[in-house]
Amino acid sequence: MTRATRRPPTTQPPLHGRHAVVTGGGRGIGIAIARVLLSHGARVTIVGRDPKTLRSTEKQIGAPESLFATPADVTDSDSVSRALNDARSRFGAITILVNNAGQAGSAAIRRTDVSLWRRMMAVNLDGTYYATSAVVADMVASGWGRLVNIASTAGLVGYPYTTAYCAAKHGVVGFTRSLAIELATSGVTVNAVCPGFTDTDMAKAAVATIVAKTARTPEQATAELLSHNPQGRFVRPEEVANAVVWLCLPGSDAINGQTIVVAGGEI
């Protein structure tokens, strides 16, 4: 009589069965966040304004069974609602939301017109509210949810020539702290990740702006940005993504209402 061979138990990845949505998921930090969530077993919907960019990102990541892309303008609540309904149709209830869509604009206060002010509020703050309000019911009904808002060190301190951007990101931090208390007994946590200058298109645009408005070279402009980071380098998108996924993993339940700074010691 032979003894039956025992097979080792199958271990599911920690986010297996979870559906995550990443706004601004077509580039930069958004791509890094989508990748790390997928690697931990989540099904991921990426949302962005440009359908062409989203299609390119889908091909780049190459996970057709677990990745879905749908376009939306986060400054338009109806557009956000349609995109998230499409996401639910594909992967079911949304229990992880990463509000990553953002935009930076700079100008001295005397040159900060209403258009710039409203654009910074619409993309960075209104978009966070629209997406969050569209998924909270899913999370509360599930008894589990993770809301992670990508704010900025500009949500914690001030920088010159960025009053509108800093005001919007401070708003994101306040929104995070307030909602964390409101949902504290629901099984849903709300936290913010606050990167410093990160190696993305946004940082490249900041360098270009400094060059255009001053007599500095690109090298000098880059050095000025890097001077804010005690490590003397740009943050890598993957480092921000790792902080995001940590807040979503089992064992993070007591981390709520926090601002996790990823900036090499700047704050």
Q: Taking 80 as the threshold, does the pLDDT of residue 3 lie above it?
A: no
What mean pLDDT is predicted for residues 37-46?
98
Q: Reply yes or no on domain 19-197+235-262 having CATH 3.40.50.150.
A: no
φ, ψ for residue 60, nearest 5 deg: -65, -45
How many CB atoms lie under 10 A from the CB of residue 191?
24
What mean pLDDT is predicted for residues 141-167?
96
Beta strands of the chain (E only): which ranges?
19-23, 43-48, 67-71, 96-99, 145-150, 188-195, 259-262
CB 21 within 8 A of CB 226: no
Enumerate long-range contacts of 230-236, CB under 8 Å, 24 or more apart. 230/264, 230/265, 230/266, 231/264, 231/265, 233/264, 234/197, 234/198, 234/199, 234/203, 235/195, 235/196, 235/197, 235/198, 235/199, 235/262, 235/263, 235/264, 236/198, 236/199
pLDDT tens sequence across 56-115: 999 999 988 999 999 999 999 999 999 999 999 999 999 999 999 999 998 999 999 999
Enumerate the active-site residues.
Answer: 165
156 CB contacts (<8 Å, ≥6 apart)? Answer: 170, 173, 194, 259, 261, 267
Q: Taking 60 as the threshold, does the pLDDT of residue 2 lie above it?
A: no
- pLDDT of res. 9: 60
What mean pLDDT is predicted for residues 22-32?
96
Lowest mean pLDDT: which of 119-123, 211-215, 246-250? Answer: 211-215
Locate the domains of the chain by residue range: 19-197+235-262
Which residues lie across from 243 on neighbouring strands?
Answer: none
Q: Taking 60 as the threshold, does the pLDDT of residue 260 lie above it?
A: yes
pLDDT tens sequence across 165-220: 999 999 999 999 999 999 999 999 999 999 999 988 787 887 888 888 887 898 98
- pLDDT of res. 8: 59
What mean pLDDT is predicted for residues 232-257?
97
- pLDDT of res. 205: 81
Assign 1 a pLDDT band (cuts: 50, 70, 90): very low
- pLDDT of res. 15: 98
